[in-house]
Amino acid sequence: MGRSADYSKQKCALAGALDIVGEPWTLLILRDSFRGITRFEQWQESLGLARNVLASRLKSLVRDGVLETRVYCERPRRHEYVLTQKGYDLRPALLHLMDWGIKHVYGEESPDAELIHSCGHRVAPQTHCAHCSGELLPYDITLRRIPEARAVGELRLVAEAL
Amino acid sequence: MGRSADYSKQKCALAGALDIVGEPWTLLILRDSFRGITRFEQWQESLGLARNVLASRLKSLVRDGVLETRVYCERPRRHEYVLTQKGYDLRPALLHLMDWGIKHVYGEESPDAELIHSCGHRVAPQTHCAHCSGELLPYDITLRRIPEARAVGELRLVAEAL
C-alpha cells in the first residue's frame, strides 16, 4: 500500500484520518483540488512529483472515497479527479494548517501569502461549536472514548472487504 | 533529517506547515501532548513506536519550536516535553482532522469516539472569521500570493542559520 507509517493498532479518529490523508504529498494534492485542479498533468506541473507517486496517491484517494473520477473525454477516454463530500469536508483542517503555516512558518510580520476573507480582512479562523456557538477552547472539550473501539487496521480491513 | 517528502521547492504555507508536522507519527505525538503526555516513556506506551523514531521526532519538534524541554528531575537529570505557543496553535487543525476521522473514517452512525463540548453536545466545529464573525465558506476566501515568496527549502535554510 506504500503507507509510510503503521497506525493500524491505534484506536483514534485522528490516526484514522492520517491513515487516509497523512501520506506525504496527499494534503498538497488536496490543496490543489480545492484550487480547482482536476487533471493528472496539472498536478504534475504544480507539485513536480514523480508520475508513479502521483498516480499511487490519486488511486488511494479514489479508493478511500476522498476523490472520484469523472470522464471528460470519450475518445480517447480520459478522466479527471474531483472532490467528493468526504474530500470537501477536509477543508477546515487544511485551512487551519495553512493559517498555522502563514503565522508560524512564513511569519506573521512579513507574510509571503495571505488568506483574505470576503469581508476584506486577512482570515483569522476561529473555531466554534455549531450547537451553542461558543468558541471551542481547549479545556471545554472532552473525548468520550469507547473502550471496545475498533483499531484503524480493523477499519481498513472492513473497508477493503466491502 | 529523515524527511519523507521533499517540499523544499513549494512556495506554500500549507507545505511549510507539513514540512514541520507532516511527518508520519508527528501529529499523533502532538495529539498526546494535548492530552497531557510529556515524557518519553508515556509516548512509547501510547504509540508503540520504535525508540529511535520517537527520539528523532521529538528532537525535530524541539528544533522547530513546537515543543520545548523542561527539566523535571535534577539527579539524574531528566526532562520532559511541553507544547510552546506555536505547538498549541496547531490545536484547531488537529481538532478538525479528528472530527473528520470521527465522521468519515469511524462513521457518524456508530461513533467509536466523540468529542464532547462543555455545552453537553458533540462538538461540531465550525470555522468563523475572527474579524467579521461570518462563517468561513469556501468561495469567501481568496489566497493573495506574493510572487517572490520564498520556497519552503529557503525558509528552512534561514531557520537553520539562526
Question: pLDDT of A36-63, one tens digit each?
Answer: 999 999 999 999 999 999 999 999 999 9
Whether A103 has a pLDDT exceeding 80, the answer reads yes
Q: Decide if B102 is inside a domain.
A: yes
A116 interaction partners in chain B (CB closer than 8 Å): 141-144
d(CA B101, CA B68): 28
Average pLDDT, chain B: 84
Who among B16, B96, B116 is closest to A141 (CB)?
Answer: B116
Mean pLDDT, to the nearest integer, of A120-124?
Answer: 76
Q: Nearest by CB to A92, from B47, B123, B127: name it.
A: B127
- What ranges in chain B are assigned the alpha helix state H? 13-21, 26-34, 40-47, 51-63, 85-88, 91-100, 152-161
Shortest CA distance from A104: residue in chain B:
B86
B60 and B8 in one domain?
Answer: yes
Question: In this complex, which of B106, B117, B141 lies closest to A141 when CB atoms are compared?
Answer: B117
Query: Do residues B1 and B77 share a domain?
Result: yes
d(CA A33, CA A88): 9
Q: Say if B157 falls within a structural domain.
A: no
Q: Which residue has the higher pLDDT, A47 or B137?
A: A47
My answer on whether B57 and B7 are in the same domain is yes
Instruction: Write down the pLDDT at residue A43.
Output: 96
Query: Once rounded to an integer, what is the mean pLDDT over residues A117-134?
Result: 78
Distance, in angstroms, between A30 CA and closest chain B CA? 11
* B105 shares its domain with B57: no
Residue B40 lies in a domain: yes
Strand partners, A115: B143
Same-domain status, B70 and B98: no
Alpha-carbon torsion A66, A72, A74, A78, what sign? negative
Instruction: With respect to residue B74, please indicate whether it lies within any of the assigned structural domains.
Output: yes
What CATH number does residue A65 fall under? 1.10.10.10
| Residue of A7, A53, A106, A116 for testing the chain B interface, max B β-carbons within 10 Å | A106
Q: How large a percentage of chain A has pLDDT more than 70?
A: 86
Is B110 found in the same domain as B67?
Answer: no
User: Are residues A17 and B105, on separate chains, in Cβ contact within 8 Å?
Assistant: yes
Find the largest Cα–Cα distance for chain B. 57
Which pLDDT score, from 0 to 100, does residue B4 have? 58
pLDDT of residue A156: 79
Quick one: cell of B146?
506574493
Q: Lowest mean pLDDT: which of A51-55, B19-23, B154-158?
A: B154-158
Query: Would the CB atoms of A18 and B31 count as touching at under 8 Å?
Result: no
Question: Could you count the other beta carbons within 10 Å of the beta carbon of residue A81?
Answer: 23
Which chain A positions have a beta carbon within 8 Å of B149's beta carbon?
A: 106, 112-113
Share of chain A above pLDDT 90, in %: 44
Range of the domain at B112: 90-141
In the 8-state DSSP scheme, what is residue A140? G
How many distinct structural domains can be found in chain A?
1
- Are B43 and B23 contained in the same domain? yes
The answer, yes or no, to whether residue A2 has pLDDT greater than 80, is no
Residues B56 and B127 in one domain: no
Question: Are A21 and A27 spatial neighbours (Cβ–Cβ below 8 Å)?
Answer: yes
Q: Give which of B142, B159, B145 is closest to B8, Cα–Cα.
A: B159
Residue B92 in contact with residue A96, Cβ under 8 Å?
yes
Optimal mutation site among B34, B45, B103, B117, interface A, most CBs of chain A within 10 A = B117
B95, A136: Cβ pair inside 8 Å? yes
**pLDDT above 90 (res B128):** no
In a domain, B154, yes or no: no
CA B32 to chain centre: 11
Query: Residue B161: inside a domain, yes or no?
Result: no
Instruction: Give me the pLDDT at residue A1, please.
Output: 37
**Residue B2 included in any domain:** yes
Instruction: Render pLDDT for B59-108 as a digit per residue (tens, 0 to 9).
Output: 999 999 999 999 999 999 999 999 999 999 998 899 889 889 888 888 76
**Nearest chain B residue to A140, by CA:** B118
Identify any residues that bridge with A142 across adjacent strands, giving them in sequence order: B116
Q: Is residue A73 part of a domain?
A: yes
Q: Which of A20, A136, A142 to mutate to test the interface with B (most CBs of B within 10 A)?
A: A136
B7-12: average pLDDT = 87
Shared domain for B112 and B79, answered yes or no, is: no
**Which site among A34, A47, A60, A98 would you substitute to test the B interface, given the most B Cβ atoms closer than 10 Å to its Cβ?**
A98
DSSP 8-state symbol, A107: I
From B7, B48, B116, residue closest to A144, measured CB to CB: B116
Question: Are B29 and B4 in a shared domain?
Answer: yes
Indicate the pLDDT class of residue A108, thresholds 50, 70 and 90. Answer: low
Candidates B127, B134, B155; nearest CB to A105: B155
Enumerate the residues of chain A whose CB falls inside 8 A of the CB of residue B98. 12-14, 17
